[in-house]
Amino acid sequence: MKVAVLDINGKDTGRQAELSKDVFGIEPNNHAVYLDVKQYLANQRQGTHKSKERAEIAGSTRKIKKQKGTGTARAGSIKSGVFKGGGRMFGPRPRNYSFKLNKNLKRLARKSALSMKAADKSIVVLEDFNFDAPKTKNFTAVLKALDIQDKKSLFVLGASNKNVYLSSRNFKGSEVVTNSEISTYKILNANKLVLLESSLEGIQSNLSK
What confidence score (pLDDT) does residue 190 get? 94
Helix axis angle, 197-207 to 103-119, nearest 10°: 140
b (16+ CB within 10 A) / e for 31-54? ebbebbbebbeeeeeeeeeeeebb
Q: How far apart are CA 171 and CA 174, in angstroms?
A: 5
Q: For the chain, give the longest Cα–Cα distance.
A: 93
Q: Coil, strand or helix: which one is 124?
A: strand
Q: How far apart are CA 123 and CA 139, in angstroms?
A: 18
What confidence score (pLDDT) does residue 71 get? 94
Residues paired with residue 174 on neighbouring β-strands, in sequence order = 153
Q: Delineate the domains of the chain, giving CATH numbers in brackets.
A: 2-46+98-207 (3.40.1370.10), 51-91 (no CATH)
Q: Coil, strand or helix: which one is 183?
A: coil
- Pairing mode of beta strands 2-6, 12-18: antiparallel
What confidence score (pLDDT) does residue 46 get? 94
What confidence score (pLDDT) does residue 193 get? 94
What confidence score (pLDDT) does residue 160 get? 87
What confidence score (pLDDT) does residue 53 get? 93
Q: Coil, strand or helix: which one is 3?
A: strand
Question: Model pTM?
Answer: 0.83
Question: Could you state, in chain order, the average pLDDT of each consecutive group of 10 residues for the chain (209 residues)?
Answer: 87 89 93 97 95 92 92 92 92 95 95 94 91 91 91 92 91 90 94 92 86
